[in-house]
Amino acid sequence: MIDCLFCKIVAGDIPADLVHETEDTIAFRDINPQAPTHILIIPRKHIATINDIADEDRALVGSLYTTARDVARQEGLAEAGYRVVMNCGEGAGQSVFHLHLHLLGGRGLSWPPG
């Protein structure tokens, strides 16, 4: 956990462009955006992957989605539509092992993703 990039952002040791904060979550702009709006929503608590979510984390994981809802409204994406996605494991493209939702919007998004 000491070497976790997103824990360092939570602690304020690494700067990030924060767009939203709650008691349990923070949201900040992705450093390498894949859409006009690309925001990462993370729990303050370190959880490495979906595989590591404990039953007691259920409310915390729910708060990632209520934060996504609020950030989408704040960014003006709620009506046009947006995508929320969480990669689990290297095979799915996860590169930072601290749970995070990607919120993508501001352009058309095709399906299925690559």
CA distance 78 to 70: 9
**22 or 94, CB closer to ligand 5GP?**
94
95's tokens: 């590169």
Choose the contact partner of 96 out of Zn ion, ligand 5GP, none; CB within 5 to 8 A by kind: ligand 5GP
CA distance 81 to 113: 16
- For residue 98, the minimal CB distance to ligand 5GP (Å) is 8
**10 or 103, CB closer to Zn ion?**
10
Edge-first strand listing for the sheet containing 18-21: 18-21, 25-29, 37-43, 101-105, 82-85
> Does 4 help bind Zn ion (rule: CB under 5 A)?
yes
Is 100 a residue of the active site?
Answer: yes
Which residues in 92-111 contact Zn ion (CB under 5 A)? Answer: 98
Choose the contact partner of 46 out of ligand 5GP, Zn ion, none; CB within 5 to 8 A by kind: Zn ion
